[in-house]
Chain A
């Protein structure tokens, strides 16, 4: 079927007017001078619904900058990187990088990293399901060959800034103390009860976890640091889905 070029042109005009002050040509209303106010409903719906979605994905960033600023900033971001699909949970990967270079938030150099942590949490919420392996499966195998399959929600997080502490200070009921200096590291993953955990870890444990997540053997991972804390965290939060003793991860 040939595309309907007249309708395509109508849509192009309608879309362009969402980002401009005047309504598109070709619209009517009982009182024609009210077309502009009526069209504004669509413009507001598009901007406000996307702005709300962004704030829902990045609630701590939204709290840090405040709702009025978030709405204004969202408008710039939406024009630059609108959602590429109707699945809004997949929208926002570019927001941390946008924050890194958006001049009005240059005085908050850690804001992009806070957004990266929130993005990792959002990814973890929707990651594929897999049952946690039981701890005794890990007891016997030789660390020289033991590799771990980690849950799809696992992300290893690092910031030059105290972004994990800033994020934690904005969780319900959190006490706010003086911020440590960066860098900070954390393990992000979804527990079997579906809650997403953000566990701060030291740099050595971060290296062990990163090596395990890359599919290296436990023996190789342990070259970075004592792996006890890493293994304990993974088991406590149900983030090992299978021990693997073959040669390939």
Chain B
């Protein structure tokens, strides 16, 4: 599979289709949630084909439940295969999370304990995905609000081991790092120092909301506002360490006009072009 261009991308919102058509090359790639493009036909596929004619395409799944104990949903894997065969994206990514239980789909990315058992399960699932889809996938680090008493692995070690065993790449969501670090009161820089950055094939940046708990802030991974300043700082530091990587701005709720998204992408591009290339060698 070809790879994403080392530049900026935006999450595609159908309401921005005309703006995007009027501004070709505003960013280098667009990313879509796979599950929104699993109908037989109609405008969604036509828009996707049009987007892909002028830009690289990243398909980002939210439905595989890679972190679930049960087997992968074979029907869903087949749907993904059809989508990937139809649109031939430059990248496919999914989450270290679970999102279905029994017959019910819960529509949220739910956390898992990091144990030797879940590690084996996640690796088996990543292997199965890569085999079924015929590609090297990227696995995204989660934003979490709770941790599990049963966990025996650090998240960074867990991810590194998944990479080592499966050969998958990682999607580093810097906002998720900041959200989890704040929520669990650890240092995001220590997390990034332990993160297997050499496996990062894409970076996500997004905005978060803030609630106040008696013990301090609880950040919510809302994707509903601009990227926060501390996240920009962490992003610049990552670029300084590993050089430029394809970088996506995610904004999924209270979606602003296209110009606002484009300005966020331009801010990321400025960092990609300065911090990324000048500092890394």
**Could you list which residues of chain A lie within 8 angstroms of chain B, going by C-beta atoms?**
1, 3-8, 10-12, 14-15, 18, 23, 26-31, 34-35, 37-39, 41-42, 45-46, 49-50, 53, 82-89, 91, 124-129, 152-153, 190, 194
Task: Pick 29 A–B contacts, CB within 8 A, sort by A.
Answer: A1-B124, A4-B118, A8-B70, A11-B68, A23-B146, A34-B214, A38-B183, A39-B146, A41-B220, A42-B146, A45-B107, A45-B108, A46-B108, A50-B107, A82-B103, A82-B104, A82-B106, A86-B62, A86-B99, A87-B38, A88-B35, A88-B107, A89-B36, A89-B38, A124-B42, A125-B43, A126-B44, A152-B41, A190-B42
Q: Please state if B42 and A125 are interface contacts (CB–CB under 8 Å).
A: yes
Q: Is B194's CB within 8 Å of the partner chain A?
A: no
**Could you list which residues of chain B lie within 8 angstroms of chain A, going by C-beta atoms?**
35-36, 38-46, 62-64, 68-71, 73, 75-76, 79, 98-108, 110, 112-113, 115, 117-118, 120-121, 124, 145-150, 183-185, 211, 213-215, 218, 220
Known: A152-B40, A194-B42. A53 touches B110 (CB 8 A): no
A206 vs B38: C-alpha distance in the bound complex, in angstroms?
31
Known: A125-B42, A129-B42. A3 touches B108 (CB 8 A): no
Q: Please state if A41 and B145 are interface contacts (CB–CB under 8 Å).
A: yes
A15 vs B168: C-alpha distance in the bound complex, in angstroms?
29
A153 vs B41: C-alpha distance in the bound complex, in angstroms?
10
Q: Please state if A86 and B105 are interface contacts (CB–CB under 8 Å).
A: yes
A4 vs B215: C-alpha distance in the bound complex, in angstroms?
34
A10 vs B102: C-alpha distance in the bound complex, in angstroms?
13
Q: Please state if B106 and A10 are interface contacts (CB–CB under 8 Å).
A: no
Measured between beta carbons, the chain B residues less than 8 angstroms from A23 are 146
Main secondary structure of the interface of B (DSSP, over half): mixed
Known: A11-B98, A46-B106. A35 touches B42 (CB 8 A): no
Q: Please state if B76 and A86 are interface contacts (CB–CB under 8 Å).
A: yes
- Report B187 CB to chain A, min CB distance, Å: 13
Q: Closest A-chain residue to B46, C-beta based? A: A194
Q: Please state if A38 and B146 are interface contacts (CB–CB under 8 Å).
A: yes
Known: A7-B69, A11-B69. A49 touches B108 (CB 8 A): yes
Q: Please state if B106 and A18 are interface contacts (CB–CB under 8 Å).
A: yes
A239 vs B184: C-alpha distance in the bound complex, in angstroms?
56
Q: Please state if A87 and B68 are interface contacts (CB–CB under 8 Å).
A: no
Q: Closest B-chain residue to A30, C-beta based? A: B185
Known: A86-B100, A126-B44. A34 touches B213 (CB 8 A): yes
Report which residue of A31, A53, A85, A129 has the largest number of chain B beta carbons within 10 angstroms of its beta carbon. Answer: A85
Contact of A4 among B40, B69, B73 (CB under 8 A): B69
Known: A14-B110, A46-B108, A86-B62. A27 touches B117 (CB 8 A): no
- Report A60 CB to chain B, min CB distance, Å: 20
Q: Please state if B75 and A85 are interface contacts (CB–CB under 8 Å).
A: yes
Q: Please state if A53 and B107 are interface contacts (CB–CB under 8 Å).
A: yes
Q: Please state if A39 and B145 are interface contacts (CB–CB under 8 Å).
A: yes
Contact of A128 among B35, B41, B118, B148 (CB under 8 A): B41
Report which residue of B46, B69, B99, B149 has the largest number of chain A beta carbons within 10 angstroms of its beta carbon. Answer: B69
Report which residue of B42, B45, B101, B120 has the largest number of chain A beta carbons within 10 angstroms of its beta carbon. Answer: B42
A3 vs B108: C-alpha distance in the bound complex, in angstroms?
22
- Report B236 CB to chain A, min CB distance, Å: 28
For the complex of A and B, the 7 pairs showing the least CB-CB separation, nearest first, are A86-B63, A126-B39, A129-B41, A31-B215, A128-B40, A82-B104, A8-B69
A7 vs B44: C-alpha distance in the bound complex, in angstroms?
37
- Report A51 CB to chain B, min CB distance, Å: 10
Measured between beta carbons, the chain A residues less than 8 angstroms from B45 are 129
Report which residue of A4, A23, A31, A50 has the largest number of chain B beta carbons within 10 angstroms of its beta carbon. Answer: A4
Known: A41-B145, A49-B107. A30 touches B101 (CB 8 A): no
Contact of A10 among B43, B63, B150 (CB under 8 A): B150
Q: Please state if A4 and B121 are interface contacts (CB–CB under 8 Å).
A: yes
Report which residue of A31, A37, A87 has the largest number of chain B beta carbons within 10 angstroms of its beta carbon. Answer: A87
A128 vs B103: C-alpha distance in the bound complex, in angstroms?
26
A61 vs B72: C-alpha distance in the bound complex, in angstroms?
35
Measured between beta carbons, the chain A residues less than 8 angstroms from B121 are 1, 3-4, 7
Q: Closest A-chain residue to B80, C-beta based? A: A86
A8 vs B71: C-alpha distance in the bound complex, in angstroms?
11
Measured between beta carbons, the chain B residues less than 8 angstroms from A129 are 40-42, 45-46
Q: Please state if B148 and A30 are interface contacts (CB–CB under 8 Å).
A: no
Q: Please state if A31 and B214 are interface contacts (CB–CB under 8 Å).
A: yes
Q: Closest B-chain residue to A15, C-beta based? A: B101
